[in-house]
Each structure stands twice: as C-alpha cells, then as structure tokens.
Amino acid sequence: MSARIIELRSDTFTKPTPAMFEAMMAAKVGDDVFGEDETVNALEQKTAKLFGMEAAIFCPSGTMTNQLAIRAHCIPGSEVICDEQSHVYIYEGGGIAVNAQSSVKLIRGENGKITAAQVGNVINNPNDIHQPVTRLVSLENTSNRGGGSIYDFKEIVSIKNVCNQNKLKLHLDGARIFNALAESTETPLDYGKIFDSISICLSKGLGCPVGSLLLGNTEIIKQTRRFRKLMGGGWRQAGFLAAAGIYALDHHVERLREDHRRAKEAGKLISKLSYVKDIYPIETNIIIFELDDTITAIEFVQKMNEKGIKCIPFGKQLVRMVTHIDLTDNDLEYLHHVLSS
C-alpha cells in the first residue's frame, strides 16, 4: 500500500479548507426546525436570490432535495420523464416509487441528456384512464453517468416549451450545476427562469462537508418543509453546515475551472493508454473511460488502489475518476507517473 493517497472516487470526499472551517466555527446558529437558525436562513435566501427563485430549503443530501421536489410535483399515480441514467432513477433507492408513489418513463438520451423531441414523444395521453398522468420532466446537469456532460441551454429551453404545452413541471437535478455554469455563458438566473425546482449540492464540487438546497416558489418550498420533517430531515443547529455553504458560494465557484482543467489533462494521458478502449468527452470534472478486454474495471481499480490512487468501477469495463478542490497539480503529476509506469 502506498503512503500517498489520491482520492478520485468522487468530489464528495473533500474536507473543509481552514478558512471554510473558520467560517463554520464562527456561525451564528439556532434551531432550524423553529426557523431560528439565522445562518441557514441566510444561506437559503442567498441561494434563492442567486437563481432568482422565491425560496429555498437546506437539506442534508441531494437525494433528499430531488425526492422532495418530485414528491411535491407529483401526486400518486403520476409519471416522471427522465434519462435512463438519471441519478433520480438509479441512485435514489427507488425513491420515486416510494416517496411520490409515481412511475418513471425512461428515455435513452445521449451522455445522460435527453431532447425536447424525445420528451414530446413519451407524454401519456391525459384522457386515457389506463395511463399514469405525466406530470414532471427531470433533467440532470451536469450528467454524472454521462461523464459530467453539459446540456445545450437551447435544448433546455425547447424542453421547457414542451412542458408548457403539456402542463408539465420541470425539475433540475443540479448536483453539479456550478460545474456546468463554469463552462457556459448562461447565469444562475437563466436557470431560475426556466425550472420549477432546482436541486444543488454544496457537498460536491463546492467542497462543503454536507448539504444540498432545493429552490422553487414559496408554495413548493413550504410544502417540502413538511415533507422534509416527515422524512426525519428537520435539523437543528444546521447553521454550522450552512456557513460552509455560504463560504463556498463566495469562494469556491470561480475555481471550478481548475478542476476541469485537471480532468482534461488527466484524460489526455488516460486516452493514450494501450488498454483504454474509449474515453467519454471531458467537459467538466468527471472522467469516465472504457477498458479493453485485457483488464476489468475491478482489476484496474485494485491496481490503482495499491499505488494509492482511488477510483471507482462504473460498470464491468468502465472506470470513473472525479477531480475536486483537494486535488493539486502535484497529485496530478503523481497520477501521470503511476499511469505511465
């Protein structure tokens, strides 16, 4: 086992920087279940304002914020349209069925992204009593299983038009929306105008230890406060965590392009390895590559582990690596060294 550990399994492994930690320790807190944690309130207001939305709710995870949104948009017997690789479908424990008592219409998109035409083709006939009522479209930007791919904003606008024509709500799983924004000309306000709800994670690229927010109109957010409580997600002096979020929004957004640069640099080398068959286009901080049949993903990950480099199998022949704030150029050099030896 190597003495040096380079964590590339996810951008969720980051630890607070000393300055973030200081901000957390200095937070003014209260009981958030009573609405009295002023730092939580400040974070919710700051984020809602940033995206031009009416309100926000701070939660422990992105799974919770996605699930709260889906539950709020769907009554039992509804149907949600999403890409077949969506986090809301494959990584949330079947939560759409459990929490919203609704079904899913899966679309095979490209790198996790679906089109307006595809959405238009799968909306159920609201007058046919056999079919669940299509009520929601959920998009993921950037797409995790799509390799950190970014939506073309024009496509999002077209999807919104289809939603309007068919009275559907539109949700964004924006766990990594700031990674998408860092590479686009659009602003958070542009997204706020389009979506009925937006979930963002502070615990991913922004480097916070814990936390996600759901943004929406006053009514939706009020409803989700009740749902969050019944899920056991009402929390008390969460301001210590909210302070990390405020700090990250002020200091860790601009730097995301550094993570993207490092991912692209690592990708260049990975794509040249003899046993790498294919690599997804690297648009942000996620690297996904396919191994040829001389080595499986589990074997590759094991070999890397022995050298102190942690990454994860993402399928039988697929491996994922994610860059983040705790990764330095020096770490990248070590990765190059290990891969080339």
Ligand X SMILES: *Cc1c(COP(=O)(O)O)cnc(C)c1O
List of residues contacting ligand X (CB under 6 A): 61-63, 66, 87, 140, 144, 173, 175, 201, 203-204, 212
Could you tell me if 206 and 175 are in contact, meaning their C-beta atoms sit under 8 angstroms apart? no
Comparing CB distances to ligand X, the nearer of 12 and 124 is 12
DSSP line for 295-329: S-HHHHHHHHHHTTEE-EE-SSSEEEEE--TT--H
- Smallest distance, Å, CB 61 to ligand X? 3
- Quote the least distance from Cβ 281 to ligand X, whole Å: 17
Smallest gap from Cβ 43 to ligand X, in A, equals 16
Alpha helices in 143-286 (DSSP H): 153-165, 177-182, 188-194, 218-230, 239-251, 256-272
C-beta separation of 43 from 242 below 8 A:
yes
Q: CA 281 → CA 139, 268, 302, distances in Å?
A: 19, 10, 24
Of the pair 31, 326, the CB lying nearest ligand X is at 326
In the complex, what is the shortest distance from the CB of residue 86 to ligand X, in angstroms, rounded to a whole number?
8
Instruction: Give the residue closest to ligand X by C-beta.
Output: 62
CB of 210 vs ligand X, minimal distance in Å: 9
Q: Which is nearer to ligand X, 87 or 307 (CB)?
A: 87
Residues in the chain: 341
Residue 83 near residue 128, CB atoms below 8 Å: no
Q: How far apart are CA 144 and CA 86, in angstroms?
A: 8
Cβ closer to ligand X: 171 or 204?
204
- Classify the phi-psi angles of 221: left when phi > 0, otherwise alpha if psi is within -120 to 50, otherwise beta: alpha
- Min dist CB 173 to ligand X, Å, is 5
Smallest distance from the beta carbon of 13 to ligand X, in angstroms? 12
Residue whose entry in the numeric block shows the structure tokens 């330095």: 328
Q: Which is closer to ligand X, CB of 188 or CB of 233?
A: 233
Q: Residue 230 CB, nearest distance to ligand X (Å)?
A: 18
Choose between 273 and 312: whose C-beta lies nearer to ligand X.
312
Q: What is the largest CA-CA distance in the chain?
A: 64
Q: At what angle do helices 239-251 and 38-51 cross, to 10 degrees?
A: 40
Identity of the residue, 87 or 113, whose beta carbon is nearer to ligand X in the bound complex: 87
- Closest to 267 in 3D by CA, of 212, 323, 217: 323
From the centroid of its chain, how far is CA 24? 23
Residue 133 vs 136, nearer CB to ligand X: 136
